[in-house]
Amino acid sequence: MSDEAATRRENALDFLDELDERHDFLLIELEQLNTRIDSILNEYTKSRQSAALANGIAVDRLLEVNTVSDASNLQIETADFD
């Protein structure tokens, strides 16, 4: 093998090694990003569930108040008819 061919081969191997290192670096970065995204989504899901639960309790209480209010109105209306 000539010196020129050996030099080209060595340059090509160096280039492939550099690409391999960059590939490994990108995989690590993507894994870290994926972990961050999962964490943020989990926090978001928890906050939405808490909000939904709080909203559900508020709606239940509102329905209870309206039911009691409606029942009071019915009693008053009934009293008016008697």
pLDDT tens digit sequence for 14-64 = 999 999 999 999 999 999 999 999 999 999 998 888 887 777 776 677 667
pTM above 0.75, yes or no: no
User: What is the C-alpha separation between 74 and 80, in angstroms, rounded?
Assistant: 10
pLDDT band of residue 82 (cuts 50, 70, 90) is very low
Q: Token pair of 16, please? A: 């492939």
Q: What is the pLDDT of residue 50?
A: 83
Beta strands in 1-82, from DSSP E residues, in sequence order: none
For 74, counting Cβ atoms within 10 Å of its Cβ (0-12 exposed, 13-18 middle, 19+ buried), the class is exposed
Least confident of 2-6, 7-11, 15-19: 2-6
Q: What is the pLDDT of residue 33?
A: 98
